[in-house]
Amino acid sequence: MICLGIETSCDETSVALVENGRRILSNVVVTSADFHRKHGGVIPEIASRMQLQTIDLVAKAALKEAGVNLKSVKLVSVTSGPGLLGSLLVGISFAKTFSYGLSIPLIGVNHVISHFYANFLENKSIDFPFVALVASGGHTSLFYVKDFNKIELLSATLDDACGEAFDKVAKILGLGYPGGPVIEKLALKGNSGKVKFNCSVKKNELGFSFSGIKTAVLYYAKDLVHTKKKLSTGHARDICASFQKTVIETLVEKSIIACKKKKVKNILLGGGVIANKSLRDRFKEASIKNNLDCFFPSMKLCMDNAAMIAGYGFQLFKKGYCSNLYLNHDLT
Ligand code: KG4
Ligand code: ZN
């Protein structure tokens, strides 16, 4: 069965065609990031306007690249949330039109869960149950997964998401948006031992909190500027290295605790932050040490894309789930 997936939860517009939830026939992604950069973060109004202007072109490109005609599409899967309201509505309206026009079923899926589903798109055979960590611009969540429709949320961030912290720290240091890739680059040349940051949550062994570390970076940078008049490249590199190391260690530590608690052998990662190479290396190392199999999507599938939406939608549809034309956004 060929499923057409649509993803418009943030600043990307993506349409994909995926066969039987596993084989990607096409996965076209365009982003409006360039238009947000000068504002230091995503401007929802700009994002949704760009999505409205581009979604039909992206869909045409995806169909063409897959070599698929409309008659072969048997299911439409769309991100119904969480995400930016206006952006979600563009994708949902487009999906409804497709479903109605072609008389094919429609399914709305959760964006966060789709992030770890991305692992199933690369022909991996992964046994249930497993623990999944999603670290993106909007979420940092740990799940216990027994099946595609039996998913327990173990913990989520108490405040800022992990990727959001990367973006805010980059903004504080004047490094631009998005923050993750540029912090990763600078961290490579920095000394993580020069400054000490912390983001542990003592009260909850699985809980995450990234707002405190962002504020600590803000005060540290302000103090440096105050005493030395200027934040040097060396300082910025050391701050990035220390910030990144602290965040990664926290993600690894909590994920391993979750795996031990739930007695699983597999851990799946997903979301934009998982594109970070130091994080991937550190997870590999910790997994070997703790006798776990660790899975992460290829770099491209870590970021927002419609293939993960098409794939996960197919799995839910196979289990009997379906939406209708009353499908609405779900911001939770
Ligand atoms: O999953 P995603 O594409 O969108 C959301 O669902 O939010 O994640 C975007 C987030 C941004 O906050 C970005 O800074 C972060 O992922 N990110 C990274 C890296 N690449 C992207 N964070 C750390 N290291 C990276 N290499
Ligand atoms: Zn995402």
pLDDT at residue number 231: 83
Q: Is the dihedral of CA 113, 114, 119, 120 positive or negative?
A: positive
pLDDT confidence of residue 36: 85
pTM for this one? 0.95
Most confident of the ranges 193-202, 215-224, 266-275: 266-275
Which residue pairs from 190-193 have beta carbons closer than 8 angstroms and sit at least 24 positions apart in sequence?
Answer: 190/234, 190/236, 190/237, 190/238, 190/239, 190/240, 190/241, 190/242, 191/237, 191/238, 191/241, 192/238, 192/241, 192/242, 192/244, 192/245, 193/242
Q: How far is the CA of 11 from the centre of ligand 1 (A)?
A: 12
For the chain, the C-alpha Rg in angstroms (whole number) is 20
Question: Residue type at 157?
Answer: T
Query: Is 7 close to ligand 1, i.e. is its CB under 6 Å away?
Result: no
Can you tell me which residue has the tokens 């169909």? 63
Q: How far apart are CA 293 and CA 19, in angstroms?
A: 26
- Residue 179 Cβ contacting ligand 1 at under 6 Å: yes
Q: Is the CB of 309 under 6 A from ligand 1?
A: no
Nearest CA to ligand 1 atom 8: 272
Cis preceding-peptide flag for 297 (omega within 30 of 0): no
CA of 266 to the centre of ligand 1 (A): 23
Task: Indicate whether residue 108 lines ligand 1 (CB < 6 A).
Answer: no
Residues 6+ apart with CB under 8 A from 213: 165, 169, 197, 198, 199, 243, 246, 247
Contact at 8 Å (CB) between 252 and 283?
A: yes
34-48, 97-111, 207-221, 298-312: lowest mean pLDDT where? 34-48
**Contact between residue 325 and residue 33 where contact means Cβ atoms under 8 Å apart:** no
Whether 303 is in the pocket of ligand 1, judged by its Cβ within 6 Å, is: yes
Ligand 1 pocket member 137 (CB < 6 A): yes
Q: Is the pLDDT of residue 226 over 80?
A: no
Q: Pocket of ligand 1, candidates 273, 276, 300, 305: which has the most ligand atoms within 8 Å of its Cβ, to mutate?
A: 273
Q: Of 119, 70, 108, 125, nearest to 268 (Cα)?
A: 119
Q: Is 175 in the pocket of ligand 1 (CB under 6 A)?
A: no
**Distance from the alpha carbon of residue 303 to the mean position of ligand 1, in angstroms:** 7
Test site for ligand 1: of 8, 166, 169, 304, most ligand atoms within 8 A of the Cβ: 166
- pLDDT at 42 (0 to 100): 86
Name the token pair of 237: 């590199």
Considering the chain, what is the average pLDDT of its residues? Answer: 95
Is 304's C-beta closer than 6 angstroms to any atom of ligand 1?
yes
Q: Which one of the ligands is nearest to 136 CA?
A: 1
Burial, 198: exposed, middle or buried (Cβ in 10 Å; 0-12, 13-18, 19+)? exposed
64 DSSP assignment: H
Answer yes or no: is the C-beta of 178 below 6 A from any ligand 1 atom.
yes
Query: Strand, helix or coil at 242?
Result: helix
Please tell me the predicted confidence (pLDDT) of residue 37: 82
The per-residue pLDDT for 200 is 78
> Is 138's C-beta closer than 6 angstroms to any atom of ligand 1?
yes
Average pLDDT over residues 297-322: 98
- Is the pLDDT reported for residue 229 higher than 70? no
Structure tokens at 242: 């220390």
Task: Using the mean position of ligand 1's atoms as its centre, give its distance from the Cα of residue 33 in Å.
Answer: 12
Ligand 1 pocket residue status of 81, Cβ below 6 Å: no
- Cβ contact 107:322 at 8 Å: yes
Phi, psi of 2 (to 5 degrees): -95, 125
